[in-house]
């Protein structure tokens, strides 16, 4: 409105009613513009629906129902941030679901617990007709064409394979297509970004030789290497070792919020060289280190990463149901349109936003599978860690029983075989004793 006043002749008196009408007019224009951004966001997302790189619904199923699906309705599950109705509202067409178990299970029953989480996710994704279990990039495209929500399975934390490449391969056979090298604890072969647990302390925060073998085997299988939760040194080494692009499935920009779970600029540049992807996390603690987390604060992370390495290296990894606080306006999976509306308001092009929504992830998945196909003649890795390196007291080291054990076992069996006859003679004597006594 100020430009109109500036163009008026000097001394012009503008009636109050005119000013009020102009103010109303400009307010309406602003509202119409906002509605236009919202409409653009929904229209764009209907054509390029979201691939969300990380969701922890599975651990909530364990917490709320002990994995008993008969006790929940995933069309309407208000106790958590994710259900089918809200995924539809948020234009989420592909959800990467994490099979996650607490670090406290390391060196105990982490493999069993992870198998149970994979099992419940497979059931979710096959028993609900809105969902479809998908194991390839082409499967994602087919599911989008069919109008179903594609489920991609991931394992969150290398402690879930108990330092075993055969266990890694079996998870792949079950449909797992991504694994985070660590969670909030070190493994014997990789360092975490967290100091919450004291598992396997080390001075070198990078990958060991076995850790490199894990990355190489994931390349051979066609599993996406996920570096969220890894130490920066582990992440840098994994980027250099991997023949395929890698991802941070749910991490944000360290330059915007200096949390150790976020990614510094120098590491973003390494990621870019590999053609990888950072999928921005929406956990409030990673979004706003100071002040309140908002949609605008999340968009600041997108802006910074775009400025640093380009929009083609960015995706979305909401971390819903894996955190306890989310930004105002982004409280659950239905709210993604508000984030996209903000990016459009900040003059992101529709092509850039479409890449963030899904196409950047598809490019990475395609490339991971291309590397897998190149390595198809390579045999499975037989790399192992020595028991003294793993230091897992719950592991049984298989070996043939010694001769002494065999002899002892046979003696025990022989002794046991003599007991029934002795017992029979004793019973017979007790039965005959009264008759024998009457003879005297």
Q: Which two tokens stand for residue 203?
A: 């001075």
- CA 286 – CA 249 distance, rounded (Å): 14
- Report the distance separating Cα 426 and Cα 408, nearest Å: 27
Contact by Cβ (8 Å): 274, 311: no
> Which residues make beta-bridge pairs with 320?
55
Which residue, among 91, 96, 109, 100, has the nearest Cα to 60 in the 3D structure?
100
Identify the residue whose tokens are 């969670």: 183
Is 56 in the active site? yes
Place of tokens 């014997």: 188
Pairing of strands 149-156, 247-248: unpaired
301: nearest Cα among 283, 281, 275: 281
What are the two backbone dihedrals, phi and then psi, of residue 332, each rounded to the nearest 5 degrees?
-155, 180
Identify the active-site residue in 319, 321, 342, 352.
319
Pair 131, 149: CB distance under 8 Å: yes
Contact 125, 176 (CB under 8 A): no
Of 48, 91, 159, 183, the catalytic one is 183
Q: Which residues contact 107 (CB under 8 A, 6 or more apart)?
A: 199, 391, 392, 393, 394
DSSP sequence for 360-394 = HHHHHHHHHHHHHHHTTTSPPP-----HHHH--TT
**Of 250, 259, 301, 304, which residue is the catalytic one?**
250
CB atoms within 10 A of CB 198: 8
Catalytic residue, candidates 56, 162, 226, 270: 56
Is 250 designated active site? yes
Give yes or no: 183 in active site.
yes
Q: How many CB atoms lie within 10 A of CB 200?
A: 20
Q: Cα(34)–Cα(37) distance, rounded to whole angstroms?
A: 5
Active site residue: 48, 52, 54, 304, which one?
A: 54
Nearest-CA neighbor of 299 among 277, 319, 314, 320?
A: 314
Q: Choose, from 229, 254, 259, 304, the residue flagged as catalytic.
A: 229
Q: How far is CA 204 from CA 103, 173, 392, in A?
A: 20, 32, 20
- 54 catalytic? Reply is yes
At residue 12, the 3 state secondary structure works out as coil
Q: Which residues pair with 150 in a beta bridge?
A: 94, 132
The total of other beta-carbon atoms located within 10 Å of residue 158's CB is 29
Q: Which residues are catalytic?
A: 54, 56, 156, 183, 229, 250, 319
């Amino acid at each position: 409105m100020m430009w109109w006043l500036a163009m008026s002749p000097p001394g012009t008196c503008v009636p109050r009613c005119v000013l009020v009408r102009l103010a109303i007019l400009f307010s309406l224009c602003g509202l119409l513009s906002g509605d236009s951004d919202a409409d653009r966001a929904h229209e764009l997302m209907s054509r390029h629906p979201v691939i969300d790189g990380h969701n922890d619904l599975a651990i909530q199923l364990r917490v709320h129902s002990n994995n008993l699906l008969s006790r929940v309705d995933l069309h309407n599950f208000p106790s958590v941030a994710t259900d089918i109705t809200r995924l539809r509202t948020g234009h989420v067409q592909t959800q990467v679901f994490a099979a996650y178990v607490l670090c406290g299970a390391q060196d105990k029953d982490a493999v069993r617990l992870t198998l149970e989480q994979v099992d419940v996710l497979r059931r979710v994704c096959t028993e609900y007709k809105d969902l479809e279990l998908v194991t390839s990039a082409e499967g994602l495209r087919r599911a989008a064409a069919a109008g179903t929500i594609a489920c991609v399975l991931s394992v969150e934390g290398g402690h879930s394979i108990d330092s075993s490449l055969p266990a890694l391969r079996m998870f792949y056979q079950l449909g797992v297509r991504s694994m985070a090298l660590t969670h909030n604890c070190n493994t014997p072969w990789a360092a975490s970004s967290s100091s919450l647990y004291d598992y396997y302390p080390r001075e070198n925060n990078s990958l060991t030789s076995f850790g490199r073998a894990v990355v190489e085997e994931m390349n051979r299988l066609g599993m996406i290497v996920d570096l969220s939760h890894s130490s920066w040194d582990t992440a840098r080494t994994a980027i250099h070792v991997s023949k395929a692009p890698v991802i941070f499935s749910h991490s944000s920009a360290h330059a915007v919020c200096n949390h150790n779970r976020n990614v510094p600029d120098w590491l973003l540049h390494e990621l870019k060289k590999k053609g990888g992807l950072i999928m921005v996390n929406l956990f409030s603690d990673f979004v706003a280190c100071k002040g309140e987390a908002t949609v605008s604060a999340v968009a600041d992370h997108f802006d910074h990463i775009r400025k640093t390495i380009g929009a083609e290296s960015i995706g979305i990894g909401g971390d819903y149901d894996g955190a306890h606080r989310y930004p105002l306006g982004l409280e659950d999976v239905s709210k993604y349109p508000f984030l996209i509306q903000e990016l459009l308001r900040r003059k992101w092009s529709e092509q850039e936003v479409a890449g963030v929504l899904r196409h950047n992830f598809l490019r990475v998945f395609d490339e991971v599978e291309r590397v897998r196909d190149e390595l198809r003649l390579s045999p499975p890795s037989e790399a192992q860690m020595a028991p003294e390196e793993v230091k897992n007291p719950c592991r049984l080291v298989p070996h043939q029983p010694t001769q002494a054990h065999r002899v002892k076992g046979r003696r025990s069996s022989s002794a046991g075989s003599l007991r029934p006859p002795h017992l029979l003679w004793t019973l017979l004597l007790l039965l005959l004793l009264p008759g024998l006594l009457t003879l005297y």
